[in-house]
Each structure stands twice: as C-alpha cells, then as structure tokens.
Structure 1
Amino acid sequence: MGIWQADQHRGYGAWGEHGTPVWHEQFTRAYTASLPFYESVFGWTYEVLGDTDEFRYAQAIVDGDMVAGIMDATAFLPPSHWRVYFGVDDTDAAVAKVIELGGTVVDQPEDSPFGRVAGIADPLGARFQIASVN
C-alpha cells in the first residue's frame, strides 16, 4: 500500500459512483495489530461487525463516514493484502464484459449486504473487485 501527504492533489474527485472506487478492504493475518495501527496513523475509529473466530471484521470510520473494512483472514487467506472495489451499474453485465475483453472471474458474482459483488482480473492478472452501486 502507499500513502501520500496531500498538497494540490487532494485524492479522489469522485467516490461511490459508477466507475469510481466504492470501497477499500484489508484482509490481514494481523487483525489485532492492524486496528490500532490505522487508528494511530489515520485517526480511524471502528464499528465492529463481527468478533468471532469465524467472522472478525471492522469498518473504519472517519468523520462519521465509513471509509474501509478490515477482515481477519488468519484462517483462510495468506498473505495479507488490500482490495479495491469499483462501482458498476450491473455486476453481472460487467463480469460478462470482463470475460469478453480477455479478463477472468476470480470470485463469481454474489449478493452481499452491500450490493452484488464479484472479483475479477484484467488480462495481465491484476485483481480487483466490482460492486453494484444501485
């Protein structure tokens, strides 16, 4: 991951819309260390959605807005990594377009409490997520 100190470029010009980032999520094997780390670096507070061995997840909050999720992936997903989700109007149609253009489906489309999501990779293997923004 990378960070920068904003100057004239303040970051995203758009967020939460079709074709823009709609979510960031860290999958980590160091969940208990990650929360205080991001709290001390960025001032994040958290809303914990689950705190069991089966599902440990917190949503990071800044100024009342949810900005990212942190998932304890100790049991199922080494190594730790960040995911970015891009907004689409129709997840299934976007997946079909990805395949048509030579990309691959990493995680089949599925409904979630936050919309319909899928994991895809571009023709060179770069992975990212897409999510409906309806």
Structure 2
Amino acid sequence: METIKSIPENYQRIMPYLIIEDGAKFMTFTQNVFGATEQYKHMRDKNTIMHAEINIKGSTIMFADCTDTYQKQNAGMFIYVDNCDETYKKAIDNGAESVMQPADQPYGRSAGVKDPFGNTWWVTNPL
C-alpha cells in the first residue's frame, strides 16, 4: 500500500467537497452557526467561488459555487458540537430547516437541520 508522504498542514485524509449555490452565503452560515474560519478562497470571477475552504475546530470543508460544468452536489454531515440545542437554534435562526428537533439519543443529544444550501447537518453533543 502506498503511503502519503505529507498531508499539508490544516488538512485531513478525508474532507467533504461541496458544490453549492451561493458559496459566500454558505461560508457566512457556517461562521455564524459553527464558528467556522475561512482557510482559503479563490474566486472564478467577481461573484463566483472557484474553490474555498473553511475550518471548523480542526476539520476542513472544501466547496465551490456550482456552474453549468459542475452541478450542485450536497452532502449529509455529522458534527460534534458543545451544545446541540444552542447550535440547532443558531442554525434555525440562520435559515436552516428542522429535520429533527434536539433529543437525547443513545450516542448523545442530537438534532438535524437542512441548511439553506441543501446540506443536512446532524449536530450532536455527547451526553
């Protein structure tokens, strides 16, 4: 099996790559809800993100604005948070739709939201 020589700093072996509508608003949503920080952004033109990266507490999500060539591709993501109920409320306040209200599960307190860009986030804090 081939060994990866060196993964660049701030990157993980596997990272989601989303192709979405309105990447700039997606970045703002993740900053407001999850405390994301912008790690990198390269514009295709004045209004279109060609490639961007955010970091949420050590995890990178890459994304780009969809185009005629690169169609929209959403994802479902599981994220551990400090407080499920607070994060759920922030998501709803920032335009997400409820998929599942916060509830205690065997694996932690969990909720589901669909962000305004079509991605589903399963937010969970351990009990």
Q: TM class, shorter-chain normalised?
A: 0.3 to 0.5
TM-score (norm 1): 0.40
TM-score (norm 2): 0.42
